[in-house]
A = this chain, B = another copy of it.
C-alpha cells in the first residue's frame, strides 16, 4: 500500500476545500500556495449560492514547494480555521486499494479490470467479492483474489460480517458495486462514507429499485440511462456522480434495453470511478461537485 504521505517529487498536491462562502477565500488560499513556491496546475471553484457554500479544488506541483507533505495542513491551519474550512489533502500519485463487488453480470467487472491493467485507474484491485460463484473465472483471468460470499435474507448479517472482515484485511479504501445486486446494510455503508460507488441501471430518480429496464420498457421511454452514485443507506438516493443516456425506440425489447444499457453502465461507472480516483469529487448534502 502506498504511503500517501510520501508522494514522489514530481507529483502534485490537491486541496479539496469546502466552507461557508466569504470574501477573501480565494485570495487567502492562492496566496498561501504562491508564498510557499507552489505552481498551480489546475484550479477550479464553485459557490452554491443557495446554500452559501464555497468549494475549491487546487492542484499544485510539489517541486519547488517549500513544505513537506506532512507540513502542508498544519501550515494551512490558520486559514482553515479562520474560514471554517473542511479541507482534504490528496496527492496525485496516490493509488487507492479498491474492492469490486459483483453479482452475476460481468461487464462492469471486466471493464474495470481491463482499465486497471492498462493503467488507466489510480487504483489497485486486490479483492473481488461476489454473491455468485460465476465470476471466479474472470477474477482468475486477471489474477485477482476472488471471494464467494453467497447471501440470502437470513444470512445477510453473517455475510456482511465476513465481507467487512475481507475489506479490512485488504486495507480497502474504495468499494465499487459493479452491478452487485444486493442492498448493503447501514453497518457497511456507514463504515465507508463516500467511498462506495454504485452503478444503477436507470436514469435516477426514474426507476428506482429493481428491474429498471423492465420499468423503462413498460413506461415506453425513448431514452434509457445509467447513474453512478455514492451508496447511502437510502436505496438509489445517494449523491449522483455521473449519468448518461442512450436512445431507444419501440423496436427495442427488454433484451435490447439490457444490451444497450450495459455499455452505458460500463462507461458511466468508469467515469465516476475516474473522477473519484483523481480527487475531483466533493460531496455536500446529497449532491456532488465534480470538477471535470
Distance in angstroms between the alpha carbons of A161 and B190 in the assembled complex = 57
Distance in angstroms between the alpha carbons of A38 and B244 in the assembled complex = 38
**Judging by beta carbons under 8 Å apart, are B253 and A239 in contact?**
no
A240 CB–B CB distance under 8 Å: yes
**Judging by beta carbons under 8 Å apart, are B223 and A203 in contact?**
yes
**Judging by beta carbons under 8 Å apart, are A219 and B244 in contact?**
no
Distance in angstroms between the alpha carbons of A286 and B50 in the assembled complex = 38
Interface residues of A in 19-64 (CB under 8 A from B): 23-24, 26-27, 30-31, 33-34, 37-50, 55
Given contacts A26-B40, A114-B111, A240-B220, contact A46 B251 (CB under 8 A): yes
Interface size counted on chain A using CB atoms at 8 A: 70
**Judging by beta carbons under 8 Å apart, are B270 and A263 in contact?**
yes
**Judging by beta carbons under 8 Å apart, are B118 and A106 in contact?**
yes
* Interface mask (A215-232 → B, CB under 8 Å = 1, otherwise 0): 000011111010000000
A141 CB–B CB distance under 8 Å: yes
Distance in angstroms between the alpha carbons of A222 and B271 in the assembled complex = 13
Total copies of this chain within the assembly: 4
Cβ contacts under 8 Å, A114 to chain B: 106-107, 110-111, 114
**Judging by beta carbons under 8 Å apart, are B223 and A243 in contact?**
yes
Interface residues of A in 233-249 (CB under 8 A from B): 239-245, 247, 249
Listed stretches A81-89, A125-133, A149-157, A204-212; interface member: A204-212
A44 to chain B, nearest CB (A): 7
Cβ contacts under 8 Å, A225 to chain B: 203, 223
Residue in B closest to A274 when the chains form the complex, CB atoms: B259
Cβ contacts under 8 Å, A24 to chain B: 34
A281 to chain B, nearest CB (A): 10
A267 to chain B, nearest CB (A): 5
A to B CB contacts below 8 Å, 5 in the list: A55-B250, A106-B118, A107-B114, A204-B219, A223-B245
Interface of A toward B, CB cutoff 8 Å: 23-24, 26-27, 30-31, 33-34, 37-50, 55, 106-107, 110-111, 114, 117-118, 120, 138, 141-142, 203-207, 219-223, 225, 239-245, 247, 249-251, 253, 259, 262-263, 267, 270-271, 274, 286-290, 292
